[in-house]
Structure formats: structure tokens, C-alpha cells
Amino acid sequence: MKHGKKYLNALGQVDRTALYSVGEAVDQVKSLATAKFDETVELAVRLGVDPRKAEQIVRGTLTLPAGTGKTNRVAVFAAGEPAQAAREAGADVVGADDLVARVREGFLDFDIAIATPDLMGQVGALGRVLGPRGLMPNPKTGTVTMDVARAVTEFKGGRVEYRTDKVGNVQLRVGKVSFSRDDLMRNVHAVIDELVRVKPASAKGRYLVSITLASTMGPGVKVDPTRARDVEEALAGA
């Protein structure tokens, strides 16, 4: 991939061999963001798991303390009272058979899909469409539920899904460059703490293998995994 002059200039300001505390990494990422738009800040964590083993797949949801800086578009597969509750909670698209048909025909203008259990038989048939995009509702992530109003509110307000990819990486949006230093650090720590909390019992050896923080157009800054959970140290430099 060919990068522009701004990226290469920013890359030249990063010590690619250094491991930083979360606070130091946030400072670097904020200072190196040069785009004219408010860049998204993403966290990538390489976990010491084997995703080929079902019991070592790490997935779930968490609410970021400072939100993500983005309002998710939420689609809800529901009928009757749950459908009305979803609309009242602010869902962007709500439907049952009609929504299933729209998605089958190519409609994918949403970031999160929620479904009531009774409609999962129909939604499951959309696996080839929703699955590869990470949009398939799943009870483990709270997106298959009868309490659709609560789910809509949470995902609109900063709740995010996470899942290891085929090589054990988890990548999440943790805010915007415009966020304060403290807010970005709190979001990063929330993700790290959550990943440690759900560590598979069968995972052996080093669990937090590597951690990288970067903005949309900026270079990655490496975080020291041994210091990644040190909240007091990070906030002390604020």
C-alpha cells in the first residue's frame, strides 16, 4: 500500500521499536493526526489464542465509558410490540419479513443488527450476507433479545461488539482524535480490561501479545502490554 507524504512524515516521528504506556500512545496518536477531518482512533490487540478452537474464540460486547464518537445505525428484526419498542427507542430500521427481504436484495445500510429470538429462523437464512460483514445477530453479543429497546439504546450510546479474527486480533474503534486524552485512555483501558476478563481458560502462555493504537490516517503506535492495565500511571500524566 502506497502512503502519502503526511503519513510518511508522521511515521518518521514514531519510534517503531518503542513500547509506550497507554497515555504516551494516546499523546502520540493525537499529535500525529494531520487529516482535515476528525480521525477515528482504533485499537488493535493481538491475543494469544487459537481462534480455530471454538473455546478460544473471544467475543462479546462492552460499553465504552466515553462512547465511540459515532452514532450507530441500528436495524431491528422484530414484529408486534417489540418492533414498536424498537422504533420508540430510536432504531433506524425496523421490520420482520419485509426487512429480511430487503437485506436479501442488498440493503445493508446499518452498523448493528438486532433480532428477537422468534425471527432468528428467518434472519439465520441471511448468514451469507450478514455473516461476512459481522452483522449477524448473536445471543453472546446481546443482539438476539426480546428487550430490543434496551439493546437499541445501548448500541446507540457507545456499546460495541468485539471478536477475534482468524489470527487472533481484536480491532475496535475507541473514539475520535478530538476526544480528550482522559476519555481516550479510559476507553482503551475499558477494552483491555474486558479482553482480560473474558480470557479463555484454555489459552496458555502470553495472552496480550501486542497492542497498537492508531488514527485513521496515522501510523500505529505500540503499547507495552505489561503496562496496558496501569490506569493510575496513565492518568497521572494527564
Q: In terms of residue numbers, what domain contains 180?
A: 14-68+160-236
What's the confidence (pLDDT) of residue 200? Answer: 95
Judge whether residue 179 has pLDDT over 60. Answer: yes
Helices 22-32 and 181-197: angle between axes, nearest 10 degrees: 130
Average pLDDT of the chain, as a whole number: 89
pTM of the model: 0.76
Domain CATH for 32:
3.30.190.20
Report the pLDDT value the prediction gives residue 236, as an integer from 0 to 100.
42
Are 112 and 135 a contacting pair, CB within 8 Å? yes
User: Vertex 202, ends 193 and 21: CA angle to 5°?
Assistant: 30
C-alpha dist (Å) from residue 118 to 27, 79, 96, 124, 129: 47, 9, 10, 11, 20
Same domain, 169 and 62: yes
The kind and range of the H/E element at 196 are helix 181-197
pLDDT at site 189: 95
Q: Are residues 84 and 144 in the same domain?
A: yes
Name residue 26's amino acid: V
Q: Where are the beta strands (DSSP E) in 48-163?
A: 59-63, 74-77, 93-95, 112-115, 159-163
CB atoms within 10 A of CB 173: 16
Q: Which of 92-101, 168-177, 224-233 has the lowest mean pLDDT?
A: 224-233
Residue 62 domain-assigned? yes
Q: Distance (Å, rounded) from C-alpha 102 to C-alpha 128?
A: 14
* pLDDT band at 117; cut points 50, 70, 90: very high
With bands split at pLDDT 50, 70 and 90, how would you rate the model's confidence at 235? very low
Looking at the domain assignment, is residue 214 inside a domain?
Answer: yes
**189 and 209 both lie in a single domain:** yes
